[in-house]
Amino acid sequence: MKTTASYLALTLSLLQSSQALAYATTSNQNAAPLHIRSQSPIHGIRYTPTPLGANGLEQNQTQISASTDISSIWANGDEFVMDFNMLDSRLEVNHGLGEGWTVRMSLSERRVVNAHLDQPTINFHRVMGLGQDGRLDVDKHRTLIEIPKYGIRVTNFNDAVFSRPVSAGISKQFYAKKNLRLAVTGQTQIETANSSWQQRGNLDASVQLDASKRLANFSLHGSFAHTWFEQTNMLGLPLKDNLYHASSALQWHQSNQGAWVLQYLLNEGAAAGGGELRKVNHEMSLGYQWQWQKVKTEFAVTENLFHLYNSPDIAFHGSVSVTI
């Protein structure tokens, strides 16, 4: 009886250990920040790095992902006025080469759309007890950018394409010990659209450091990036030729499949002029990730912080990825 009891106890202990190990392994594989880049007015038109996390892909793993962000841009200040909805769509393919190396390619497009976000935003502000900041005094669904200091006034530009770049990059995970991962990424992109907003052939580049740390049922992610731009003027507005970007994310692994993520993006102001557009912008996102076998989906909502006119009033994000 003692032997049988001991055997059952050992078996039960091993099962519990294997379940815990499976949970930890699954969570480590799924540990990643929200795949959201800045939706701020100027950053939304230029190249903006995305928090990647430092876990990377294993050798011969290929990840294909599609993501969409829809944002409401609202700025009603003395120095400039902006009112439009922006659609940010991306298709990405990443492939693990082994020994911590991952190659990355993506196609993306940012354009103006009539997403009918005005009324939902007004309703959200009412529910949250926030002011409307003049939204009730103007027509809904208008498209307007006005910066009097630089003689800029653009109206009725619905369906205009802001940018349509192709990008390529490579990541190297160079540290992986005690649940801490560090990776560095270099990327470059070339613009294929030719419009008032961007010039075809513009070449931008970035270098990025990502860190990921596992703590029990939580993961911490952070990134710091620096970007360089070829184009330094947009519609007459002078722009900076290099910028810094940072992010942090807290991920709670609620189960083997699900995780909640609170994420903060910080970007240096993109404009060399333009008042509040020069200031650092802050975006806070809350999202949920769900992993089912090789398929991962995530949904999130983003709100602006501090300097309200140089970041999105509200934005919604959705993505799906498949790892094969």
Judged against a pLDDT cut of 80, whether residue 309 lies above it is answered with no
**pLDDT at residue 281 above 80?**
yes
Domain membership flag for residue 149: no
pLDDT at 3 over 50: no
Q: Which domain holds residue 51?
A: 31-71+86-131+160-323
Comparison of pLDDT for 287 and 271, the residue scoring more: 287
State which H helix or E strand residue 260 sits in. Answer: strand 258-267
pLDDT at 5: 43
Average pLDDT of span 51-80:
90
pLDDT band at 186 (very low <50, low <70, confident <90, very high): very high
Find the mean pLDDT for residues 245-253.
Answer: 96
pLDDT at 63 over 70: yes
Placement of tokens 């027509």 in the chain: 139
- The per-residue pLDDT for range 83-112, each reduced to its tens digit, is 899 999 999 999 999 999 999 999 999 999
Distance of alpha carbon 289 from alpha carbon 260, whole angstroms: 6
Please report whether residue 60 resides in a domain.
yes
Task: Note whether residue 50 is domain-resident.
Answer: yes
* pTM to 2 decimal places: 0.84
| pLDDT surpasses 90 at 13 | no
| Residue 16 pLDDT greater than 60, yes or no | no
The CA–CA distances, whole Å, from 120 to 115, 127, 183 equal 10, 10, 39
Residue type, 204: D
The pLDDT of residue 127 is 76
Burial of 320 (0-12, 13-18, 19+ CB in 10 A): middle
Please return the burial class of 98, using the count of CB atoms within 10 Å of its CB with bins 0-12, 13-18 and 19+: exposed
Contacts of 275 (CB under 8 A, 6+ apart): 77, 79, 80, 149
φ, ψ of residue 31 to 5 degrees: the values are -70, 115
CA 142 to chain centre: 26
Residue 170: its pLDDT value, please?
Answer: 97
Q: What pLDDT band is residue 29 in, cutting at 50, 70 and 90?
A: low
| Residue 109 belongs to a domain | yes
C-alpha distances in angstroms, 79 versus 25, 28, 70, 136, 297?
Answer: 52, 47, 25, 20, 40
How much of the chain, in percent, has pLDDT values that exceed 90? 52
For residue range 122-169, list pLDDT tens digits in order: 777 677 666 666 666 667 778 888 888 888 888 888 888 989 999 999
Between 14 and 266, where is the model more confident? Answer: 266
Count of structural domains, the chain:
1
Residue range 280-304: mean pLDDT, rounded: 93
Question: Is 276 a member of any domain?
Answer: yes
144: in domain: no
> In the numeric block, which tokens belong to residue 132?
């409307």
Across 223-252, average pLDDT: 93
Q: How confident is the model at residue 2 (pLDDT cuts 50, 70, 90)?
A: very low
- 78, part of any domain: no
Q: Which pLDDT score is estimated for 280?
A: 87
Question: For residue 92, what is the domain's CATH number?
Answer: 2.40.160.40
Summarize the confidence of residues 295-302 as an average pLDDT.
Answer: 95
Structure tokens at 297: 């989906």
